[in-house]
Amino acid sequence: QEPLTASMLAAAPPQEQKQMLGERLYPLILAMHPSLAGKITGMLLEIDNSELLLLLESPESLHSKIEEAVAVLQAHQI
């Protein structure tokens, strides 16, 4: 699968841009948190698209962002 680029995103309507980012993020999140993957992806999609592209290129940053999202999600659900 070719990497998602800013120009590929820019060619799509806003709603579809999030969809494209979600499709890339979801499998990565699924590998870490299978039971929460859909919710975590939904949370991360609130982040700016430009930052999401950076996260997709940086597994370490993505990792810490996912952990951050899990903490927020768990706090929210209590």
Partner 1 sequence: SSSVNWPPEFRPGEPWKGYPNI
Is 38 a binding residue for partner 1 by CB under 8 A? The answer is yes
Identified binder of partner 1 from the candidate list 32, 33, 49, 56, rule CB under 8 A: 49
Is 15 a binding residue for partner 1 by CB under 8 A? The answer is yes
Exposed e or buried b per residue across 5-35, where buried means at least 16 C-beta atoms within 10 angstroms of its C-beta = eeeebeeeeeeebbebbbebbbebbeeebee
Identified binder of partner 1 from the candidate list 32, 33, 42, 56, rule CB under 8 A: 42
Q: Write the burial class of residue 57 (CB in 10 Å: 0-12 exposed, 13-18 middle, 19+ buried).
A: exposed
Is 65 a binding residue for partner 1 by CB under 8 A? The answer is no
Is 32 a binding residue for partner 1 by CB under 8 A? The answer is no
**Nearer Cβ to partner 1, position 19 or 61?**
19
